Structure 1
Amino acid sequence: MPESNSWYPRNTILCFSILCNALSAGGVFLFPLFAPELIFRLKLTQPQLTAIVWAGMAGQYPFSSIVGKAIDKYGSRICSLAAALAFSVAFGLSAWEIKSASDSLSLSNDASARRLTLYFAFLGLGTVLSYFSFVFAASKTFPAYISIASGTTMALFGLSPLFLSSLASTFFTNSDSSLDIVSFLVFMTIFAGVSHLLGAVALDVPSTPSSEDHMRSSPAEDSEDVTDETTGLLQRQRCQNEPQNGSVLDLLRHLSFWILCLYLIMTLGTCEMVFSNVGTIVLSLPSRVSYLSMTTDSPGSAQVKILSISNTLSRLLVGPLADFLSPAVAFVPVDGVNTLRRHWISRVAFLSFAATALAATCSWMLFGVQTQQDIWVLSIGTGLVYGCIFTVLPSITCSIWGMPNLARNFGIITYSPFVGTTVYSYLYVIARSSSPENICYDRTCWELTFWICFATSLGSLALSLILWKSWKGML
């Protein structure tokens, strides 16, 4: 009874800590807000801006498998503590760098650009540490509702840029509607640091039994629970075809793993390129004056909010829909909860939908966009695709490659967006490098990029259909 009474306050504090971590972790996605001020104050060029934002976006991925392994072994608290340190260093030193810049600067300072690149790499590292800490804290604290737990926390993370950009536009905007970037970065140093220090104390999750423990416990009882012969056949098929809780080499040995990674490179790489550069994309287009008089948001701030809303709504809608249409089968049973429900469609269908939506979004940029206000289609489309893929990816990873090493395997798979972000971000730079100006004022600066993205999104659709066939009866 005492343990039952302590469960509610402990988990209330844990949920509050998860909320704080998730809402404070999206600072890396605010670069479209920072870019105009970095151009104005530091006179940075487009290649320098791309290098900085690439460091922030790609910095999330190099250590993701290590962070996942740490989560599996040590839990979420240590990762939250490390995230507090990384965020404090990144935001604090960035504020100091910008404040120290001379007002009479006429040319870009390469040293400042290199230091900001390093600081944003720390910001990316803090993001992945935070993300893994709260997602897997929620999943392991509420194992009977793992899809709702992980989906909700991912949605909160998707809401973070909207929340933070709203704070920026409300409390840190100058009289000329420009961002008071130094004050805002100082605020982020305190907010993210304190939130994750709380997580280092509160994210104390119960240990989860391994797959071997479940196999040793009541095998006869388990066999009685599963009476459907079709389900048994599917389980045997999965055992024969996939590694199931194997080593990293087992994971890398399977062709389906590499097909999935290539799909993620093409789709998530395109999305993160848009996230990083939507501020300069929108500035390349003319604006309708009548619209500007109706809003106080800068074009970049408006697009960040739209991206955040679409990303969040996508995660909130896709999670329950995926659980209903194609329930994920975890290898480890959860407290008697029957995860073997009727499947209406393969979960890979959501990957196919995301690829199709991305192709449609790129085609809009090629044939439909005319003014800054038309960019909302790009923001909604990429936010929808990004949220959809990341919502179903953990359950696909769990169902195909097992629960005990879920965080490790998920971390390895997320190397794919790291590659994709690098490739597509520099593709954007190369495609617009003909302009000597810091900001390119012509749609031809990004038109070639979106032609390539349109072609690769169609390629990712073909890859998803291959996976659908390969994993038939397994998802």
Structure 2
Amino acid sequence: MTSTTARGSGTTLLKRIQLGLTCFSIAANALCAGGIFTFPLMSPALAEHLKLTQPQLTTIVLAGMIGQYPFAAVVGKTIDTYGPWLCSLASAFLFSCGFGLFSHEIARTPDDITAPSQSSFERLTLYYFMAGLGTVFSYFSSLFAASKNFPDYIGIASGTSMALFGLSPLFLSVLASSFFTDPATGLDVTHYAAFVGILAGVVHVIGAINLRTPERKIQSIEVPREDEEAVSDDAEPESDGESEQSPFLHKNNDDNARVGFVPVEDKQSVGDLLRDPHFWLLALIVMFSLGSCEMVISNVGTIVVSLPSSSSASALSTPSEAIATSTQVRLLSLANTVSRLLVGPIADFISPIASHLPCGTLHYPRKHIISRMSFLSGSAILLFITFGWMGIGITGQQQLWLLSIGTGIAYGSVFTVLPSIVSSVWGLSNLGRNFGVLTYAPFIGTPFFSYLYAFISASHASDGVCKGRDCWQVTFAITCGASILSLLSSIYLWKRWKGRM
């Protein structure tokens, strides 16, 4: 008996150590994965040293942003099948190669060139795309390692990992300004990019060793006898247009918990998912919300440049532009991080996620106060206010804080609740794959809104960089309309999925 107890204690200790190492790597992966979002810090040096034009700079950063999405479904399926460790290993390779080759390309370019090299521009675009692809491998490895290790607190787990991912640009920008920036010459992009590649590579190799997820165990709960009889009565003839897939909700002995009965979706195919019209409506919300947010994240540097530093100023010095851009990047990162930290626990408290049991039963641990779709509706309202203010109220750089904070909060909130919404509607077994398929929506939305911004800005540019509110006023009017469509769609899904999340 004593030896058995000792072995049990030893096993428990090992599991706790393994869980601790997993949590460490979740945090480290997320914190070191946001290198592509620090491009606004690098773009002034690239324009000066490589003589890259604004459209070329936009194309490079857009390659990194959309590089997160093409293989998202494959990455999700890899996690569902093999676990997050393999994705962490892949991201180590992609980060090291992407940022390392990016740094090498800049270093080998002579200082005395007078025109941009087309081949160099194409290589930089490819390398930044590799870094973007590494980002989605890293993001999924930390997100789903957290979600699957803590399935009963998926909001807190996913929110925390996403918060650290949102904090990554701030963390890396502090390192950039502290160790790789000279007051006279600005950021040393060559050494900074090399450092990011090495740091991310080492951290994600360690993550490949530490990231593990527990096997799913069959759960059981006691359903009161009266509920069993109700289920058996309801299961016989179908009436009022209800099918065997209609959810039945019953209260158990605890007034704060509910038990529901829904079909098990473990064998659901991608085709089944794509035939669901509600999935396409959710994808539309994601495309409009995240696509417009990532347009702002990608172009906040040129938005800063388009405005005077004060209402009476007409020109900006380079140091002022750099400081103002860095400030907006940090505000975006902080707002993104804080929203993810807060939204996850709040969502778990007011919108608890059901436990999916093998027999098709859903168990709700606490009483619902409001649907998780409310967070998508709230984000759409916030984006409408933020973009509307850009269109009618802003006159100088000092007012850009509302754009950065509003965009960061909405961006973080949408990303935080999406995994739990997907798992609530389509189950946990294929969560990685289903979430990956859903992320194709911003893959379409981000380039659409980004090139919309770029073409409108270019049409009003007289001497290289566009100046004035005309650079983006029409763009933000269009994003206001997209926010209204997102709001209406989220309200419809809120009603359709009542009782599911």
Does the pair score TM above 0.5? yes
The residue type equivalent to 2:476 in the other structure is: F
Residue 314 of structure 1 pairs with residue 322 of structure 2: no
Instruction: Pick from 462, 465, 477 the counterpart of residue 439 of structure 1.
Output: 465
How far, CA to CA, are the matches of 2:273 and 2:188 in structure 1? Answer: 47
Q: Kindly provide the CA deviation profile for residues 448-471 of structure 1, in whole angstroms up to 9, marking residues without a partner as x.
A: 111111111111111111111221
What pairs up with 1:55-454 in 2 under 5 angstroms?
55-176=63-184, 178-209=186-217, 214=218, 221-224=221-224, 231-232=249-250, 239=263, 246-288=268-310, 298-332=323-357, 339-434=364-459, 435=461, 437-454=463-480
| Matched position secondary structure for 1:232 | strand
Residue 4 of structure 1 pairs with residue 4 of structure 2: no
Gap regions ≥5 residues in structure 2:
1-8, 231-247, 252-257
How far, CA to CA, are the matches of 1:340 and 1:226 in structure 2? Answer: 19
Report the Cα offset of residue 398 of structure 1. 0.3
Report the Cα offset of residue 12 of structure 1. 2.2
| Matched position secondary structure for 2:250 | helix
How far, CA to CA, are the matches of 1:366 and 1:142 in structure 2? Answer: 42
How far, CA to CA, are the matches of 2:177 and 2:429 in structure 1? Answer: 43
Q: Kindly provide the CA deviation profile for residues 401-455 of structure 1, in whole angstroms up to 9, marking residues without a partner as x.
A: 0010011000000100111111111111111122254421222111111111111
Match of 1:32 in 2: 40
How far, CA to CA, are the matches of 2:437 and 2:21 in structure 1? Answer: 31
Match of 2:60 in 1: 52
Question: CA, structure 1 residues 3+237, in 2 after alignment: closer, same or farther (shift >3 Å)?
Answer: closer
Moved more, 197-206 or 4-13: 4-13
The residue type equivalent to 2:130 in the other structure is: F
Question: CA, structure 1 residues 409+283, in 2 after alignment: closer, same or farther (shift >3 Å)?
Answer: same
The residue type equivalent to 1:67 in the other structure is: V
How far, CA to CA, are the matches of 2:226 and 2:62 in structure 1? Answer: 48
Q: TM-score, normalised by structure 2?
A: 0.87
How far, CA to CA, are the matches of 1:317 and 1:114 in structure 2? Answer: 40
Q: Kindly provide the CA deviation profile for residues 310-349 of structure 1, in whole angstroms up to 9, marking residues without a partner as x.
A: 001101111111112211224248xx99634211111111
Moved more, 40-49 or 156-165: 40-49
How far, CA to CA, are the matches of 1:100 and 1:340 in structure 2? Answer: 59
Question: CA, structure 1 residues 249+225, in 2 after alignment: closer, same or farther (shift >3 Å)?
Answer: farther
Report the Cα offset of residue 225 of structure 1. 9.7
How far, CA to CA, are the matches of 2:373 and 2:50 in structure 1? Answer: 45
**Contact persistence 1:243–1:251 (CA under 8 A):** no
Match of 1:459 in 2: 485
How far, CA to CA, are the matches of 2:298 and 2:33 in structure 1? Answer: 16
Moved more, 352-361 or 458-467: 458-467
**Contact persistence 2:344–2:416 (CA under 8 A):** yes
Question: CA, structure 1 residues 456+17, in 2 after alignment: closer, same or farther (shift >3 Å)?
Answer: same
Report the Cα offset of residue 204 of structure 1. 2.5
Q: Kindly provide the CA deviation profile for residues 173-229 of structure 1, in whole angstroms up to 9, marking residues without a partner as x.
A: 1122621111111111110010001011111332224xxxx4xx75xx543499598
Question: CA, structure 1 residues 307+226, in 2 after alignment: closer, same or farther (shift >3 Å)?
Answer: farther
Question: CA, structure 1 residues 468+142, in 2 after alignment: closer, same or farther (shift >3 Å)?
Answer: closer
Q: TM-score, normalised by structure 1?
A: 0.91
Q: Kindly provide the CA deviation profile for residues 349-406 of structure 1, in whole angstroms up to 9, marking residues without a partner as x.
A: 1111000000000011112211112111110011000011011110000000001001
Q: Kindly provide the CA deviation profile for residues 160-179 of structure 1, in whole angstroms up to 9, marking residues without a partner as x.
A: 11111111111111122621
Gap regions ≥5 residues in structure 1:
none
How far, CA to CA, are the matches of 1:140 and 1:465 in structure 2? Answer: 29
| Matched position secondary structure for 2:181 | coil
**Contact persistence 2:339–2:409 (CA under 8 A):** yes
Report the Cα offset of residue 104 of structure 1. 1.5
| Matched position secondary structure for 2:249 | helix
**Contact persistence 2:259–2:363 (CA under 8 A):** no
How far, CA to CA, are the matches of 1:403 and 1:437 in structure 2? Answer: 53
How far, CA to CA, are the matches of 1:259 and 1:38 in structure 2? Answer: 40
Moved more, 137-146 or 121-130: 137-146
**Contact persistence 1:26–1:157 (CA under 8 A):** yes
The residue type equivalent to 1:407 in the other structure is: G
**Contact persistence 1:328–1:399 (CA under 8 A):** yes
How far, CA to CA, are the matches of 2:394 and 2:147 in structure 1? Answer: 41
Higher helix share: 1
**Contact persistence 2:260–2:363 (CA under 8 A):** no
Aligned length: 462
How far, CA to CA, are the matches of 1:316 and 1:284 in structure 2? Answer: 32
Question: CA, structure 1 residues 431+231, in 2 after alignment: closer, same or farther (shift >3 Å)?
Answer: same
The residue type equivalent to 2:402 in the other structure is: V
**Contact persistence 1:238–1:474 (CA under 8 A):** no
Structure number, greater radius of gyration: 2
Question: CA, structure 1 residues 424+226, in 2 after alignment: closer, same or farther (shift >3 Å)?
Answer: farther
How far, CA to CA, are the matches of 1:439 and 1:466 in structure 2? Answer: 42
The residue type equivalent to 1:161 in the other structure is: P
The residue type equivalent to 2:189 in the other structure is: I
| Matched position secondary structure for 2:176 | helix
